[in-house]
Amino acid sequence: MKKLLLGILLAVGASSVFAQQDAQFTQFFRNKLNYNSAFAGSEDGKICASLIYRTQWLGFGSKEKGQSPSTFGGNIHAPLFNGKLGVGLNIFSDKQGFESTLTPTLSVAYHHTFTNQHKLSGGLGVGFIQKSLDGTKLKAQDPNDPSIPKESVNGNALDLNFGIYYQIPSIAGFNNVYAGISGNHLNQASVDYGPVKYTAAMHYYLMFGGVYDMGTFTIEPNIFVKNAIKTSLDLNVMTTYNGNILGGITYRTVDALALLAGYKFSSVSSAMISYDLTTSKLSQFSNGTVEIGYRHCFGFKTEPPVKTIRPIYTPRFL
């Protein structure tokens, strides 16, 4: 255990870091804006907000040696100008040991609806990456090691994202079919905080899914491909019973098998919890991962102004 924790601290203190750096979520299909800026404002006539909390590898770590990874975040997005544009705000805080990462992002998307009601969206996300590390809690083997900070350090850098998102109302028996492709950290921003240098590797995402309505039941498959240095795959199947009871399962390659359950309070409000069973070698140290999410949408309609019809009098009809 001590060797594993020491390895994590050394990785944090390395001069440059390249890996799967973005926080991952089992409930990715409910947080698409986090991965694809084109999703902003894509839900017609609705302002939608989401909150999510994930605590990873329960039982791993301690206050003295650094807590296990945890992520808290939320987003809100809405359509503008009769759905032609969309805007969204995404804020996530990710903590790993004594290191913290804050990533606020503003996304703007353009939506084009075709005559067959298919919708193509393109979006751009602009934000920044803020990194901080509490060096006062690090215990270096060599007290004079210049690569290990002795005080709290922080830094930030501009971050750019891009995405394309496509929606089909109905095809081959499936409803609400979607497909998205996106790239995050396109500028590969470098953040210097004290002696530590963090470089954001480009991340590419591909996601698609849909809903098959069977009356009392619906089946919703979702597929999520993630690529940074390595490629990983999330395969998810959700089901809805009687319109409000949610359940599902997710398999993540080389990492976890997850169970999901939730409840729809209404057509626009729902909560979900998921539990990941760790399948990698970390399972001997971890009691699994818990993720809790809540989502709510506010419906609205913009009516065109009513023109007042004024009578016109002419001498002929007086």
Cβ atoms of residues 183 and 201 within 8 Å:
no
- The secondary structure element, H or E, covering residue 177 is strand 174-184
CB count, 10 Å around CB of 20?
Answer: 15
Confidence of residue 16 (pLDDT cuts 50, 70, 90): very low
Within-domain flag for 202:
yes
Domain housing 155: 2-217
Closest CA to 262 of 216, 300, 293: 293
In a domain, 302, yes or no: no
Residue 310 lies in a domain: no
pLDDT at 44: 82
> Is 184 within a domain?
yes
Q: Is residue 236 a part of any domain in this protein?
A: no
Tell me whether residue 298 is in a domain. Answer: no
Asked whether the beta carbons of 84 and 114 are under 8 A apart, the reply is no
Q: In a 3-state reduction of DSSP, which class is residue 27?
A: coil
The average pLDDT across 102-131 equals: 97
**182-236 per-position pLDDT tens digit:** 999 999 999 999 899 999 999 999 999 999 999 999 999 999 999 987 899 999 9
Give the length of the chain.
318
Does the residue 163 lie in any domain? yes
Mark residue 288 as left, alpha or beta (left: phi above 0; alpha: psi -120 to 50; beta: remaining).
left
Please tell me the total count of domains within the chain: 1
- Would residue 153 count as lying in a domain? yes
Q: How confident is the model at residue 146 (pLDDT cuts 50, 70, 90)?
A: confident
